[in-house]
C-alpha cells in the first residue's frame, strides 16, 4: 500500500492531525540533532588531557595554563580553567564553586530532554485522536451513503484511520528512547567532570590518590 502512494497521499491519510504530527516530529528531530551535536562537540573532549595538564603543570605556570584551557571548547578544559583560576582559594570554597558550575552544566546538558519526553508521551495520543476522528468520519460517510458496505471499503477506511496511530508511535519511539539515552550520556559527562574536579582539588592540596597506583603499574611493567 505504501509503495503505491506518494508522500502527499500518505500525508492526506493523517487527516486533521497531519500538521500537528509533522510539527512535533520536526521538533523532536531538531532537539535530538542539537543535543547530539552539543554532546559530541563539548562532552568528553579533553578529559584525559586535562588530567595530564593538572599533573604536569608547575606552580608558576597555573595562570598561563588556566588561560590556555579557557580558550578551548571542551567542558573538561573549561572545568580545568575554573579550578586553576581559584587555585589560591580554600579547598571548600573551590568545591562550592565547582558544585555550582556542575549544577549549571548539568542543567544545560539536560536542556530539551524533558520536552522530548513530553513529545514522546503526547504523539501517540495525538495519533490515537487522529484515528478516532478518522473512524468517526468514516462511519459518518457510510451512514449517508446508499452504496453497499463491502469488507474492502471497511478495510481501506480502517487502514487510513489507523495510519495516524502508527505515525504517532513512530515519533514517540525515537523521542523517548533518545531522551533516555541522551540523559545517560549527559550524566556520564557530569560524573567525569566531577571526578576531574575532585582529582584537581586534591592535586592543588598536594595530594594525588592515583599516584601510588601509577607507580605500582610502572614497577610492575618494569
- Asked if the model's pLDDT at residue 165 lies above 50, the reply is yes
Rounded to 5 degrees, what are φ and ψ at 60?
-80, -15
Specify if 132 maps to a domain: yes
The H or E element spanning position 185 is: helix 151-204
pLDDT at 178: 96
Specify if 1 maps to a domain: no
Specify if 110 maps to a domain: yes
pLDDT at 217: 42
- The answer to whether 189 and 108 are in contact (CB under 8 A) is no
pLDDT at 101: 92
Cell of 164: 495516524
pLDDT at 137: 78
Residue that the C-alpha cell 485522536 belongs to:
129
pLDDT at 114: 94
Specify if 134 maps to a domain: yes
Domain that holds residue 78: 22-209
Specify if 4 maps to a domain: no
The H or E element spanning position 124 is: helix 113-143
The number of folded domains in the chain is 1
- 107-133 per-position pLDDT tens digit: 999 999 999 999 999 999 999 998 888
Mean pLDDT for the chain overall: 79
- 182-219 per-position pLDDT tens digit: 999 999 999 988 988 888 888 877 776 665 554 444 33
pLDDT at 196: 84
Percent of the chain residues past pLDDT 70, beyond the cut: 69
Q: Which of 3-12, 89-98, 198-207 has the lowest mean pLDDT?
A: 3-12
Specify if 84 maps to a domain: yes
- Residue 91 — pLDDT band, cuts 50, 70, 90? confident
Specify if 44 maps to a domain: yes
- Regarding predicted confidence, which is higher, 163 or 13? 163
* DSSP assigned state of 71: T
Specify if 8 maps to a domain: no
- 31-56 per-position pLDDT tens digit: 999 999 988 887 666 666 666 666 66
- Asked if the model's pLDDT at residue 6 lies above 80, the reply is no
The phi-psi region of residue 46 (left if phi > 0; otherwise alpha if psi is between -120 and 50; otherwise beta) is: left
Amino acid at each position: 500500500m505504501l509503495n503505491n502512494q506518494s508522500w502527499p497521499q500518505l500525508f492526506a491519510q493523517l487527516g486533521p492531525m497531519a500538521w500537528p504530527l509533522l510539527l512535533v516530529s520536526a521538533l523532536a528531530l531538531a532537539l535530538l540533532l542539537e543535543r547530539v551535536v552539543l554532546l559530541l562537540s563539548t562532552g568528553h573532549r579533553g578529559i584525559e588531557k586535562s588530567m595530564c595538564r593538572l599533573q604536569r603543570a608547575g606552580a608558576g605556570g597555573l595562570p598561563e595554563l588556566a588561560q590556555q584551557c579557557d580558550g578551548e571548547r571542551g567542558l573538561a578544559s573549561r572545568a580545568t580553567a575554573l579550578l586553576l583560576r581559584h587555585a589560591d582559594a580554600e579547598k571548600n570554597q573551590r568545591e562550592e564553586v565547582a558544585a555550582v558550575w556542575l549544577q549549571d552544566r548539568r542543567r544545560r546538558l539536560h536542556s530539551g530532554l524533558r520536552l522530548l519526553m513530553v513529545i514522546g508521551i503526547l504523539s501517540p495520543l495525538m495519533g490515537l485522536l487522529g484515528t478516532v476522528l478518522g473512524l468517526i468520519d468514516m462511519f459518518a460517510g457510510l451512514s449517508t451513503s446508499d452504496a453497499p458496505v463491502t469488507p474492502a471499503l471497511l478495510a481501506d477506511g480502517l487502514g487510513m484511520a489507523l495510519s495516524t496511530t502508527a505515525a504517532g508511535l513512530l515519533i514517540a519511539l525515537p523521542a523517548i528512547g533518545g531522551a533516555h539515552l541522551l540523559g545517560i550520556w549527559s550524566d556520564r559527562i557530569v560524573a567525569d567532570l566531577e571526578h576531574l574536579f575532585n582529582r584537581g582539588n586534591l592535586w592543588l592540596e598536594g595530594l594525588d590518590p592515583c599516584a601510588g597506583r601509577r607507580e605500582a603499574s610502572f614497577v610492575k611493567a618494569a
